[in-house]
Amino acid sequence: MGNLLLKLAYFLEGSHKYYTFKHFVYEFLEDTSSKKKKYFDFLMIFLVLSTVGIMIYEVNHVTLPWLSTYETVAIIIFIIEWLGRFWVISHAHRQIVEDYEKSRLINQTFQIKESVKTIIKEKLRFVFSPMSIIDLLAILPYYRPLRILRILMLFRLFKLLRYANSIKQFSDVFVEKKFEFFTLAIMFFMAITFGSTIIFIYEGAGVNDNIHTFFDAVYWSVITISTVGFGDISPVTTEGRVATIFLVVGGVGVIAFFTSIVTTALSTRLLALKEEKVIGEANALKEFVIICGYGRMGKVLAQEFIKIKQKFIIIDHEDEVFSHANTQNILSIKGDATDSSFLSTIGINKGASSIVAITNDDAVNLSIILTARSQNPDINIIARANNQKVKKKLFLAGANEVVSANEISALVAAEYIGQPIAFEAIDDILLNTEGAIMDEVEIIQKSNYIGHKLENIDFTQFNLTLIGIVETSNHKKFTFNPQPDQYIIKELDILIIIGHKESVSKFKIELIGSKPKISMRKKISNKIISSKKQDK
């Protein structure tokens, strides 16, 4: 029997199909980052609510055959779900393989019984876990011999804790604060015992007509300490009224203690829920930018990204900055951008195309570059250098581009003093979206202009001006005002143009769909050349 289990364990360990199917089931049941689990949770929530609704309907109505069939199907799904969780909770065969190889390594006899005991303990730990017990209590009352326990079907509502993550987060509060709640329970028990004993001693021997048993005294104590006060039982003796005063004062303290525990825990959980939501949204993004630091530069950059509809996420560790980003409806998360695990969580290896390190501390920017480059060697990194001496270090750390805010400010000031009118014109082009704009147009792979000369593009037809061309195939070399009759258009070239927004849009459509046409200027020059030849 031991050899058979060992062979089976090695067979499963080497079976790719087994692991693929198990991972498929795991995605449905346990993987919170999987969309499959999201859809499965919606299905289970619907089944739970609908079967509880059927139970309520059957109180005053005759059970319809199709409702019984529906409930049977739902119970079968619940059973399959429980068995699936029982299966994926651990790798039983791997425990056998590991114990066997460990015994061979130390030259000891392999005891498969010990491996089986470990597996059984692990499985029983799942069976007797709170959520597993709730699942079983929701399933068992369906069977006819246990119909007397049908009221336990209400436990299916507790299954919602498993599928609704936000509800589950709140339930975890009681687990995390178990010491505080245990202390509170002791205080509550002592107050109830004290009050019940006093009231029963002084008013239980026929003195108070409403107190006949000790349970009546306990009931009165609970109602009093909770400050509910139904008034159905009232003390009639001086001793009882004194006990009531102490009990009410103690009740206020217990309730205040309970409220503080729950409020503190829930506020922490709410922040965790918000972070999980932001992380989920970030993981769903494609080609987004990570902005590390939400200072003055970060705010300007964020607003520009919003204008051009560039997807991005803000990372900062300061509460004030973080709250300001939230008020602006900007996707932001509080965290440490130098933490590799944190960057991995928000998707630096998935949908992030660039990361911008623009904090006020050069040492932090340097750490962000090193961490980002180690996580994703291909990501585009742009960094801010607050000190010119650090600029070279940022490049050596792995930054693709380094921007010096002080240097840029000085150059801008110099240009404005030397040529104020030209500066204002360029500033209007860059910032005023109502007038002329500067845009970049990429030559796509299917463009008919590839391989033709630049002079074949008639920019004057669209009232556009060509500033230059960025050659993607030549390490992004920028050529200012290239010669139209000499430059050959290549695939993925980027044309830098200036013009009105509508003209740029029409030009992009023309560039994609049309065949190359000789510009009017070229036609005139060709006619002049041909006429000269004829004269000769």
pLDDT tens, position by position, 188-198: 888 888 888 88
Say if CB 291 and CB 321 are below 8 A apart.
Answer: no
Distance CA 345, CA 341 (A): 6
Show the tokens assigned to 166: 């936000």
Give the residue-averaged pLDDT of 280-288.
Answer: 81
Model pLDDT, residue 434? 56
Name the band, by pLDDT with cuts 50, 70 and 90, for residue 415. low
Structural tokens at position 129: 């876990």
Q: Is the pLDDT of residue 282 over 50?
A: yes
CATH of 287-408, one of 3.40.50.1860, 3.40.50.720, 1.10.3720.10, 3.90.226.10: 3.40.50.720
What CATH superfamily classification does 433-533 receive? Regulator of K+ conductance, C-terminal domain (3.30.70.1450)
The strands making up 436-442's β-sheet, listed across from edge to edge, are 436-442, 494-500, 465-471, 477-480
Map out the domains of the chain as residue ranges: 2-163, 178-268, 287-408, 433-533
Q: Do domains 178-268 and 433-533 have the same CATH topology?
A: no
**Sequence-ordered list of residues with C-beta below 8 angstroms from that of 289, at least 6 positions apart, any chain:** 305, 310, 311, 312, 313, 352, 353, 354, 355, 356
Which pLDDT tens digit goes with each residue over 342-370? 888 888 888 888 999 988 888 999 999 99
- End-to-end, the C-alpha distance of the chain in Å comes to 107
- pLDDT of the residue at 381: 92
- Looking at beta carbons, which pairs linking 314-317 to residues 24 or more positions away fall under 8 Å? 315/290, 315/291, 315/346, 316/292
Pick the CATH number of 178-268 from 1.10.287.70, 1.20.1270.30, 3.40.120.10, 1.10.10.10: 1.10.287.70
Confidence bin at 289 (pLDDT 50/70/90): very high
Q: What is the mean pLDDT of the chain?
A: 80
Mean pLDDT along residues 250-273: 78
pLDDT tens readout for residues 365-413: 999 999 999 988 889 999 988 888 888 889 899 999 888 766 665 655 6
pLDDT of amino acid 149 = 54
pLDDT band for position 521 (cuts 50, 70, 90): very low
Distance CA 315, CA 322 (A): 8
User: Measuring CA to CA, which residue among 58, 235, 33, 34 is closest to residue 153?
Assistant: 58
Give the model confidence (pLDDT) of 121-159 as tens digits.
989 998 988 788 878 877 776 654 545 555 566 666 777
Distance between CA atoms of residues 243 and 196, nearest Å: 9
Distance from C-alpha of 109 to C-alpha of 117, rounded to nearest angstrom = 16
Q: CA nearest 207: which of 246, 232, 229, 235?
A: 235
Cα–Cα distance, 439 to 507 (Å, whole number): 11
Q: In the prediction, which pLDDT does 432 show?
A: 55
Residue 529 confidence class, pLDDT cut points 50, 70, 90: very low
d(CA 290, CA 381): 10
Residue 120 has pLDDT above 70, yes or no: yes
DSSP, collapsed to helix, strand or coil, labels residue 424 as helix
Average pLDDT over residues 15-35: 85
Q: Which run of H or E residues covers position 66? A: helix 65-88
CA dihedral 371, 372, 373, 374 (to 10 degrees): 50
**Rounded CA separation 302/318 (Å):** 17
